[in-house]
Amino acid sequence: MPALPQLGFDEAWQTEFASLEAGLKPYRISVEHGAQYALLGEEGHVWGELSGLVRRAAKKRLQRPAVGDWVAARPSETGAPARIEALLARRSQFLRLSPRNKTRPQIVAANVDVVLIVSSANLDFNLRRLERYLVTVYSAGAQPVLVLNKIDLTEEPENYRQQLETIAGDTPIALVSAKQELGLDELTQHLSPGRTLALVGSSGVGKSRMSNWILGEDRQEVGEIRLEDDKGRHTTTHRELFVVDHQKRQGILVDTPGMRELSLWSTEEGLKQAFAEIYQLEDECRFGDCTHQNEPGCAVRPVVDEARIHSFNALREEVVAQQELQASLRKR
Ligand code: GDP
Ligand code: ZN
């Protein structure tokens, strides 16, 4: 059984938890399964359900507990699900626009510290798509790492590195081959006990293979959890939060289907971090609303690649449109 610190429970959460009423235990959410949650705590997995109070707070969607969240729950003595009485403060949150309701963001995962943005050394390689991922990861409040996989397929990995450097800023870069297990140790430095990692990237870039390497075993064997309900029935479900404890690798891996999509939420703060150099330079542009395309006295255009400027403008428009939409919803 993992100890709580191995699951990421640290002093700050301990302090918050200690201020709650007696009789509760801390758990981390490992799967959301309809109204039920698989909770991972000191005794392994138990089922949990939201208390009325938490359920009402959850109506404001973002307060709905999600994979990665820390909660305080009251264990049951009768075999019924534990009752989730409180949601502890989040460090980061990944939001997306739900396919059904395009106006309200929905929580996909919480408390992820590091996100590997995975791409691969082939024809699909696309800096503009990676910029978009950078914005969403920074928007969530997590630390991104740009990981180029499949370097076994190219003669010139350094070529890719140079391209990545044009968008990376302070973001770390790692060149790896999950297939040949090249460079994967570079990823190990982003893992540490209690630190939570996730992977994003297009389908086929090698995320599953990389996750399996990080976990050090085949996820088919480790991915299922069986839980017994109060009637003694067993349910098997696919877990989405894994404790990594293999050789020198220790940490936590979150892998939810929603994290893999590109429709994650962006904020202006995320945009600022992903395009830090443009934000710095544009203070010097002659016009305050310069779009860095053909205005005279532009400080950005002479320095920044045209395609990157274009990408920035498009992403900024999306963020502004989203902000206006949210503001108008609040007024109603
Ligand atoms: P995912 O969709 O991102 O999870 O990608 P997968 O992990 O399923 O990998 C997609 C395909 O790429 C599979 O056929 C993998 O075997 C292959 N693949 C993964 N990593 C590498 C690599 O480093 N080099 C090469 N050549 N192929 C890889
Ligand atoms: Zn300008």
Q: Which of 20, 26, 31 is nearest to 8 (CA)?
A: 26
CB-ligand 1 contact for 153 (6 Å cutoff): yes
Q: What is the mean pLDDT of residues 122-142?
A: 93
Any idea which ligand is nearest the CA of 180? Answer: 1
Q: Which of 305, 329, 208, 311 is nearest to 266 (CA)?
A: 311
Helix (H, G, I), strand (E, B) or coil at 128: helix
Q: State residue 128's pLDDT score.
A: 95
Q: How confident is the model at residue 17 (pLDDT cuts 50, 70, 90)?
A: very high
Nearest residue (CA) to ligand 1, atom 5: 206
Q: What is the mean pLDDT of residues 126-133?
A: 95
Ligand 1 centroid vs 120 CA: distance in angstroms? 9
pLDDT one-digit tens code per residue, 265-321: 889 999 999 999 999 999 999 999 999 999 999 999 999 999 999 999 999 999 998
* Cβ neighbours of residue 54 closer than 8 Å, sequence gap 6 or more: 63, 65, 84, 85, 86, 87
How far is C-alpha 46 from the geometric centre of its chain's CA atoms?
24
Q: What is the mean pLDDT of residues 168-190?
A: 94
CB-ligand 1 contact for 67 (6 Å cutoff): no
CB-ligand 1 contact for 63 (6 Å cutoff): no
CB-ligand 1 contact for 179 (6 Å cutoff): yes
pLDDT one-digit tens code per residue, 57-109: 888 767 889 999 999 999 988 878 999 999 999 999 998 876 666 677 788 89
Burial class (CB in 10 A: 0-12, 13-18, 19+), 60: exposed
Q: State residue 273's pLDDT score.
A: 97
Beta 114-120 vs 143-149: how paired, if at all?
parallel
Average pLDDT, the chain: 90
CB-ligand 1 contact for 211 (6 Å cutoff): no
CB-ligand 1 contact for 209 (6 Å cutoff): yes
Q: State residue 25's pLDDT score.
A: 97
- The reply to whether the predicted model has a pTM over 0.85 is yes
- Quick check: 326 pLDDT over 90? no
Q: State residue 254's pLDDT score.
A: 94
Structure-block tokens of residue 257: 């289907």
Q: How confident is the model at residue 185 (pLDDT cuts 50, 70, 90)?
A: confident
CB-ligand 1 contact for 206 (6 Å cutoff): yes
Task: Find out whether 94 and 51 touch, Cβ atoms under 8 Å.
Answer: no
Q: How confident is the model at residue 248 (pLDDT cuts 50, 70, 90)?
A: confident
Q: State residue 33's pLDDT score.
A: 84
Q: What is the mean pLDDT of residues 122-134?
A: 92
Share of the chain above pLDDT 90, in %: 67
Ligand 1 centroid vs 178 CA: distance in angstroms? 7
Ligand 2 centroid vs 146 CA: distance in angstroms? 27
Q: State residue 223's pLDDT score.
A: 65
Q: State residue 107's pLDDT score.
A: 87
Atom of ligand 1 nearest to the CA of 202: 3
pLDDT one-digit tens code per residue, 204-245: 999 999 999 999 876 655 667 777 766 667 777 778 999 998
CB-ligand 1 contact for 122 (6 Å cutoff): no
Q: Which of 209, 218, 219, 253 to mutate to test the pocket of ligand 1 (most atoms within 8 A of CB)?
A: 209
Q: Which of 67, 41, 117 is nearest to 240 (CA)?
A: 67
Atom of ligand 1 nearest to the CA of 149: 23
Instruction: Please tell me the distance from the alpha carbon of residue 136 to that of residue 158, in angstroms, as a whole number.
Output: 26
Q: State residue 59's pLDDT score.
A: 80
Quick count: other Cβ atoms within 10 Å of Cβ 157? 19
Nearest residue (CA) to ligand 1, atom 26: 150
